[in-house]
């Protein structure tokens, strides 16, 4: 029988090649699984950031940040979730950790400033915003700048920041409402009225802007309801607001009539208006 010594090294080469192929296949599979896991994490993180229960999101991101402390995205998610959960003090500490990370961005500093404002630390929030390059221009940055300028009674700066913020978002109704309220607190009732109307042209469902609008009109002793879209319940509440404003300005008879109209308009029992009317009548009787 003839031997074929060449078969032995050939078999060895084949085994080595198969082993190398297997290792390559295993590595490819591992990378694929990692990519899938990364996608799953990203999807889950996005889902939790928009979860209806912010406390669930806090739990998820706190656990994830503890398991992977090097991941800045988990800490960002935790900071956002703590703000949503109305826990600004804890959010501030998390955002401080985020901006200490080498991958921190200007956006992270804006989020820290937002948390500081919510926690009542206005001076520190202003310092954080001042540290951000002026070339970084976003809606949220300028909305916060406007709020701080308001607090400092720097009205020209506030107006400028509100205007810039409104131009940097596709949904400016909220910032227009805030700008209008700023004008209202300054006593610029006509300017405030115009801004609330602009907000309602964009979002006709914003009840806060409707209520602010009737406050601005009432401050000018215009006690008529504006011609805007409203439900029957909203109409009753707006009449109540106008009534209280009229009474505060000394137009008691007008206020009494508006309170009664609010009670009659509301489809259910309107306890707040009833209490207001009883208190008014009691004060009148007691002289």
Q: What is the pLDDT of residues 51-62, one digit of tens each?
A: 668 899 899 999
**Which residue in 83, 103, 95, 94 sits closest to 128, CA to CA?**
95
Residues contacting 190, CB < 8 A, separation 6+: 216, 220
**Residue 119 pLDDT level (bands cut at 50, 70, 90):** very high
51-128 belongs to CATH 1.25.40.10: yes
Radius of gyration of the chain (CA): 31
State if pTM tops 0.85.
Answer: no
pLDDT value of position 24: 53
End-to-end CA distance of the chain: 131
pLDDT score recorded for residue 79: 96
- How many other CB atoms sit within 10 Å of the CB of residue 136? 12
In this prediction, residue 12 carries a pLDDT of 47
Taking 50 as the threshold, does the pLDDT of residue 11 lie above it? Answer: no
pLDDT tens digits, residue range 65-116?
999 999 999 999 999 999 999 999 999 999 999 999 999 999 999 999 999 9
Q: What is the pLDDT of residue 54?
A: 87
**Rounded CA separation 184/191 (Å):** 8
Q: Taking residues 45-51, what's their average pLDDT? A: 70
Given a cut of 90, whether residue 168 has pLDDT beyond it is yes
- Residue 23: pLDDT band (50, 70, 90) is low
The position carrying tokens 């401080």 is: 96
Which single residue is written with the structure tokens 């998610």?
Answer: 77
**Position 256 pLDDT exceeds 50:** yes
What's the pLDDT band for 280 if we cut at 50, 70, 90? Answer: confident
| CATH number for the domain running over 137-222 | 1.25.40.10
Residue 178 has pLDDT above 90, yes or no: yes
């Amino acid at each position: 029988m003839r031997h074929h010594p060449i078969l032995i090294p050939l078999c060895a080469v084949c085994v080595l090649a198969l082993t190398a192929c297997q290792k390559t296949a295993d590595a490819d599979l591992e990378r694929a699984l990692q990519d899938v896991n990364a996608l799953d994490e990203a999807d889950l993180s996005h889902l939790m950031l928009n979860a209806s229960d912010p406390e669930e999101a806090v739990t998820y991101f706190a656990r994830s940040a503890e398991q992977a402390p090097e991941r800045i995205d988990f800490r960002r998610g935790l900071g956002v979730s703590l703000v949503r959960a109305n826990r600004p003090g804890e959010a501030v500490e998390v955002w401080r950790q985020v901006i200490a990370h080498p991958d921190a961005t200007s956006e992270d500093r804006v989020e820290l400033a937002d948390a500081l404002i919510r926690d009542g630390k206005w001076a520190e929030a202003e310092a954080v915003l001042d540290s951000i390059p002026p070339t970084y221009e976003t809606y949220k940055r300028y909305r916060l700048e406007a709020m701080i300028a308001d607090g400092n009674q720097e009205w020209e700066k506030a107006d400028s920041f509100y205007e810039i913020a409104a131009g940097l978002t596709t949904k400016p109704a909220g910032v227009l409402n805030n700008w209008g309220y700023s004008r209202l607190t300054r006593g610029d009732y006509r300017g405030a009225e115009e801004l609330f109307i602009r907000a309602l042209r964009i979002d006709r469902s914003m009840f806060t802007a409707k209520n602010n609008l009737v406050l601005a009109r009432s401050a000018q002793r215009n006690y008529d309801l504006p011609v805007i879209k409203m439900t029957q319940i909203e109409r009753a509440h707006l009449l109540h607001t106008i009534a209280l404003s009229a009474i505060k300005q000394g137009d008691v008879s007008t206020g009494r009539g508006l309170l009664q109209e609010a009670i009659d308009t509301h489809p259910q029992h309107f306890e707040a208006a009833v209490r207001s009317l009883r208190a008014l009548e009691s004060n009148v009787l007691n002289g």
